Structure 1
Amino acid sequence: MINKWSKLLPILLAVILVLAGCGSKDKQGAANSAGSGDTKPDKEVTLTFWHHYSTASPEEKTLKEVLIPKFEEENPGIKVKPVAFTWEDLHKKLQISGSAGELPDVARLDIIWVPEFQKSGLLQQLDAFEDFAEVSGGLLEGPLSTAKVGDHYYGLPLNTNTKVLFWNKEMLTQSGVEQAPETTEQFFEALGKIKSKYEKSWGFGEPALQGWNILPWIWSNGGDVLSPDFTTADGYLNSPATVDIITKLKTAFAAGQISGFKPGDVAVTEGHASGSYAMMAEGPWAVAQFQSQFPDFDVEMASFPKGSTGSIQVLGGEDIGIFSKDKQEESWKFVKFMVSEAAQVEMGKIGQIPVNLASMENADVKAIDYYPPFLEQLKTAKARPPVSAWPQIDGVINDAMSKIFMTDADVKTELDAAASAINALLKD
């Protein structure tokens, strides 16, 4: 017996040692999979994120100091390198980089750029990700639609906005206008009264003449830029309704009642606070600017003046899209994070109207007292035409309006020429 056990003992000890070793490995593996965050990932990936949050703005500060650190903490092994551009420079940079093959992994996009970059084959299709439906289902439907081209989605909404009428109560009251004009007819009447009272000021400040600025007037007056199927501008941009409202705006400009878009003009938002412009149409970012730069200015807001078809402002906002072909999973994680409730609340607290449904119920977001006028205006806000040629069309509109307002050019003649130029772009 003793001889038998003496022969078996070394074998049993060997088995016990093997089992003990396996057990310790299993425990260590479980500890690693549970993840304390201290273990180093197999590889580290850096995502480049191009955006046009204004440099040194509350938005960029929140992005760099709150959101990106939180994302990197939650996703060990993924770093995010943000690169800031101006709105115009970002658009040009993406166009140039697309040709050179030097694109970012992820970018914040104006909603009007999505069809253009989708047509160029630069944006990745996001509804190909398995959890796309779950993620997109938690976002506002209207802003989400701006990222859809054809039957697929090439982005997710990042924030939304529109413009409302800001009015200087003291200037209007002193001019004999007791409240913000509710209709375009009341608006033009108010311009004349304000000019009579404030000879060196203007009734309305308009910073530019692009679609973002002109379309609300056209839409509210029953006009449009393109047909409902987006195939022609003829009969729409040069329609009687469009000619009518542009003529009225030109007349007001000639009378010194509207200004702000010429080189050297007083900046509109600053000018509104300082008494240069009695009224302006701007977004929620203007309120944040007033609060930081003009804390003593009493901000008054109202709906955009109604025309024959109502008070129709332009739907604004940004989408977030993926350009990367080799870091798609990591990029998708970052996109999902940026539209998550936590990230949207942080941006919502500093003036970016959220698109995440849950974040809109957050106490900190609901406590922002200047959101209601914009949320009301969003109910009738309209998106610019989702065509890939829109940036070029926007340029045609700007050129036509500049000629109409700053020369003695005939309104109908210029709109006819612009409609022809736009139709040529639609055929390309």
Structure 2
Amino acid sequence: MRHTRFAAAGAIALVGGLVLSGCAASGDDSNDQITLTFWGTYGNGGNSAQTDVLENELIPAFEKENPGIQVEYVDMPYDGLKQKLTTSAAGGELPDLIRSDIGWVAQFAELGVFKQLDGTMSGFEELADAVYPGTLETTSWNGHYYGIPLNTNTRVLVTNSAALEAAGLSAPPATFDEMKQLAAGLSGTDTYAFADSGLSAWNVMPWIWSAGGDIADADLSTSTGYLNSPESVAGIQLLVDLYKEGQVPNLITGNSGATGTSDGLPSGQYASILDGPWMQDIWAGQYPDFEPVYSAVPAGSGGSISVVGGESLVVTESTAHAEAAYKFLEFSQSETYQLGMAKAGQMSVKPEFAQKQADLVPYFATFADQLETARARLPIPQAGEVDTILNDELVPAFEGDVTVEDALTAAAAKIDELLAADN
């Protein structure tokens, strides 16, 4: 299998009493009409285009292919879905299917809420082999897989062409050294070379990975020796040096009064940012004359590596219709579903659809290329704590109170504690 390794299937322990012991068996009665309940957030932020495609095109297509199975979709606000999932799990009132944020998969898999798919779902390995490797990582926990990537995104470098011209560059910076050249070219101007809105894993891991560093070993047993390696230090040091030169605004250290990246880039206050494909529609509405330039994350000694975002499709342990739910998972990976959602703004998780997707949505092409090497953040239940640790330890390094190496060493020690608790 390409880039994947599946452990032998094992029993899943239902932890903490979140799933009732009286749940129905996973078999389906083929003589009865089955209704699958599907919770998701496609309409988050008033995005009716995605819910329209799902409810009016994709679900009807699935039901036509699978007589006897109906799908009832329940849309929820993004911020409310996790809370609803938590309370409903405690009460044993879960749906069959959930469009889960990738950051929730390990947490709810550990609690026994999401069903293990490898070794359980027939054909899962073939489906998993067909997606971007980084997206598959986001569905893993403790050596198994608890979902299938549904839609994805990543961050690429987005630049303001006028700022590039002012810096004397004809193309966006493709390497760490060229980022330094961009900053040098903007010295003495009112434009920052780069801006970002924090120091979480989402923000800093592209720089660490591209520098050749990492946050932990492959077994997720230790962070020390990886997060504070010379390579990881070099990735953060690039940003710290630019910050000290006045080429990165204090938005990165949490200054709430600084101009946000969505306004700072099109206005020319920032020359470059890292961001995702959703920004295109935002700028089209707010800055209709702005034409963003998309390019790969600047490469260091580790190459050009970004971070994976998106959602996964999971089956809950409490479903009474596992086989029917598996059929919908399989359908979610079809060209019909993946390209149907691409038209509505969701990137496909399958490289084989990259060209057709780019034909539909041209600006997705750079993001699809970046996804070939993009990686997942730590797939552990305490991923939110990792973000807090990174931010808390790195801010003093930007402010000059500690060295980057000392900051990453302190962060690694705290992450070691999380990894020990998870193993």
* TM-score (norm. length: structure 2): 0.79
Gaps of 5+ in 2: 1-30
1:314 matched to 2:300? The reply is no
CA distance in 1, matches of 2:42, 2:404: 35
Report matched runs for 1:121-270 at 5 Å. 121-127=112-118, 128-132=120-124, 136=128, 139-140=131-132, 143-149=135-141, 152-197=144-189, 199=190, 201-259=191-249, 260-261=251-252, 262-270=255-263
Asked whether the 8 Å contact 1:161–1:374 carries over to 2, the reply is: yes
Distance 1:356 1:373, change over 3 A: closer
Asked whether the 8 Å contact 2:306–2:370 carries over to 1, the reply is: yes
Asked whether the 8 Å contact 1:49–1:83 carries over to 2, the reply is: yes
Report matched runs for 1:4-43 at 5 Å. none
Worse-matched range after superposition: 146-155 or 300-309: 146-155
CA distance in 2, matches of 1:241, 1:308: 8
Counterpart residue type for residue 74 of structure 2? P
CA distance in 1, matches of 2:402, 2:52: 46
CA distance in 2, matches of 1:226, 1:56: 38
Q: Which has the higher helix share?
A: 1
- Higher Rg of the two aligned structures: 1
How far apart are 1:382 and its partner, in Å? 2.3
How far apart are 1:65 and its partner, in Å? 4.8
Identity of aligned residues (%): 34
Counterpart residue type for residue 246 of structure 1? I
Find the residue that maps to 2:181 and give its secondary structure: helix
Worse-matched range after superposition: 260-269 or 164-173: 260-269
1:366 matched to 2:359? The reply is yes
CA distance in 1, matches of 2:56, 2:299: 42
Distance 1:94 1:255, change over 3 A: farther
How far apart are 1:51 and its partner, in Å? 3.0
Report matched runs for 1:59-98 at 5 Å. 59-68=50-59, 70-71=61-62, 78-86=70-78, 89-91=80-82, 93-98=84-89
Asked whether the 8 Å contact 2:102–2:309 carries over to 1, the reply is: yes
Higher-RCO chain (CA-CA 8 Å, sequence separation at least 6): 2
Worse-matched range after superposition: 209-218 or 370-379: 370-379
Find the residue that maps to 2:75 and give its secondary structure: strand
Worse-matched range after superposition: 402-411 or 336-345: 402-411
How far apart are 1:211 and its partner, in Å? 0.5
Worse-matched range after superposition: 367-376 or 273-282: 367-376
1:425 maps to which of 415, 418, 423 = 418
Asked whether the 8 Å contact 1:124–1:325 carries over to 2, the reply is: no
How far apart are 1:171 and its partner, in Å? 1.3
Asked whether the 8 Å contact 1:49–1:106 carries over to 2, the reply is: yes
CA distance in 1, matches of 2:182, 2:122: 55
How far apart are 1:206 and its partner, in Å? 0.7
1:349 maps to which of 343, 349, 352 = 343
Counterpart residue type for residue 366 of structure 1? D
2:394 maps to which of 389, 398, 401 = 401
How far apart are 1:71 and its partner, in Å? 4.5
Asked whether the 8 Å contact 1:288–1:351 carries over to 2, the reply is: no
Distance 1:396 1:92, change over 3 A: farther
- Aligned pairs, number: 384
- Deviations, residues 239-288 of structure 1 (Å, cap 9, x unaligned): 23333332332232244322344323323123212222211111222223
Worse-matched range after superposition: 139-148 or 339-348: 139-148
Q: Which residue of 2 aligns with 1:50?
A: 40
Q: Which residue of 2 aligns with 1:387?
A: 380
How far apart are 1:158 and its partner, in Å? 0.6
Gaps of 5+ in 1: 1-40
- Deviations, residues 86-107 of structure 1 (Å, cap 9, x unaligned): 3x65445544544444434322
CA distance in 2, matches of 1:242, 1:129: 38
2:322 maps to which of 312, 316, 328 = 328
CA distance in 1, matches of 2:321, 2:59: 17
How far apart are 1:402 and its partner, in Å? 3.5
Counterpart residue type for residue 135 of structure 2? P
